[in-house]
Amino acid sequence: MEKELVINGYRKSFGKSLLYTLPVFLITFVFMSGGRPDFSDPARLVALLVTFAGMNLLYFLMHYTGRTDRYRAILFIIFALSLSFTLISNIVQMRNSMSFSQSDIVECRIPFCHLVIPMMIIPAAFTKSIIFPGSIIGGFADISSMVILWLFATIALGRGFCSWGCFYGGWDDGFSRIRKKPLLKKISDSWKWMPFALLLMVMLTAAMTLVPTYCDWICPFKAVTEFEQVTDTESAIKAGIFISLFGGLVVALPVVTRKRTQCSFLCPLGAINTLSNKITPFTVKIDNEKCTKCYKCTTVCPLFALSREDVNGGRVSVFCSKCGKCVDVCPNNAIHFGIKGVPAGSFRNFSRNLFLFVSFIFISIFSAGSIINTIQSLLNFIIS
């Protein structure tokens, strides 16, 4: 551990790390407490303090140890678990069940998530309406807020959204970390083009049928959020698909490959986010002068964004989600967070500091509500 810290070029002193954490400390305090903490509910206050302290500690450690992915992943995975917990508890409170019924569809009460966005585009252009039985504004997980959150984050972070904002990504990120070494090493990276094919298919089928087909037939996260009530053979087949895809792509394959296989091989929004990587200012750069072609980065990249050809060519592909795993593992500090237009090797610390600040502010505020709710519920459960 000590040796790792010595070779890591981004490590800062204790005082400097504290100084860098101060802006995040103030911003997260204002957003989590609304500037005025609520002292009337002790459980909520404790939950808020734990979340606030935990997040700032993680950000401090990112600067103090110079490592990014390790601490990002902790928050990212907790976010995924807490969001599912919050969503399920909200749904169960509303309906006494994790499954939604025809009544929920008829009354447009289905919570919206960002994965629906690709399917909305063509129908919105042609029919001037949204093909989802949710709430346009107001209520739990409304369409307008989710679209704005995704849009802003994607413009700022590109595919970084998939590692710093997507509340599903934490599931396969978590499972991909269970084993220390992969059991299955050779996977053709041409599978990373599958989300584009799926994007094409779901956009077309949704446009033709005016039904969000990915949600209706494919989404593996139905298994940990909500799903259609099983009332006939068709809904049973759908439930079978959801569970199989969750078991296969979110649990089993990440465990044996140490890759985020759902994000790499299935997610159609991931394909759009990949394209948005072209506009975001932040990127990951390879300093050819320092790179010794050890290819450790290609082995650890969870999203097949770095091939040997990419390393030899001195560039990271558009599939990069800026998780920081390659940056952490590089023994020569040849890979670093960068800004487009700035040559590799220049402004390394500045680029990292700015990127971490932007992405951490996003994930911490976005995730705070569900993490606080989860801790509060657990505390209430323990107390009762």
What type of residue sits at position 47? Answer: A
Q: Measured from the CB of residue 329, what is the shortest distance to other proteins in angstroms?
A: 24
Q: Do residues 336 and 285 touch, judged by C-beta distance below 8 A?
A: yes
Number of residues that bind other proteins (CB under 8 A): 73
In angstroms, the CA 328 to CA 180 distance is: 16
Q: Measured from the CB of residue 384, what is the shortest distance to other proteins in angstroms?
A: 29
**How crowded is residue 207: how many other Cβ atoms within 10 Å of its Cβ?**
20
Interaction pattern, residues 229-268, with other proteins; x per rule: CB under 8 A: ----xx--x-------------------------------
Window of 70-78, 250-258, 359-367, 376-384 that interacts with other proteins by CB under 8 A: 359-367
**How crowded is residue 367: how many other Cβ atoms within 10 Å of its Cβ?**
23
Nearer to other proteins, 102 or 292 (CB): 102
Q: Does 217 bind other proteins (CB under 8 A)?
A: yes
- Candidate list 45, 88, 108, 141; residue touching other proteins; CB under 8 A: 108
Rounded to 10°, the helix 268-276/143-157 angle is 40
Nearer to other proteins, 321 or 351 (CB): 351
Short-list 155, 187, 192, CA closest to 317: 192
Report 277-296 residues binding other proteins (CB under 8 A). 280-282
Q: Measured from the CB of residue 71, what is the shortest distance to other proteins in angstroms?
A: 19
Cα torsion through 54, 56, 61, 62, rounded to 10 = 120
Give the Å distances, CA to CA, from 111 to 13, 133, 144, 146, 212.
44, 8, 12, 10, 13
- Candidate list 123, 220, 270, 324; residue touching other proteins; CB under 8 A: 123
Is residue 149 classed exposed, middle or buried when 0-12, 13-18 and 19+ CB atoms within 10 A define those classes? middle
Q: Does 321 bind other proteins (CB under 8 A)?
A: no
Interaction pattern, residues 125-154, with other proteins; x per rule: CB under 8 A: xxxxxxxxxx-xx----xxxx-xxx--xx-
- Candidate list 15, 34, 35, 341; residue touching other proteins; CB under 8 A: 341
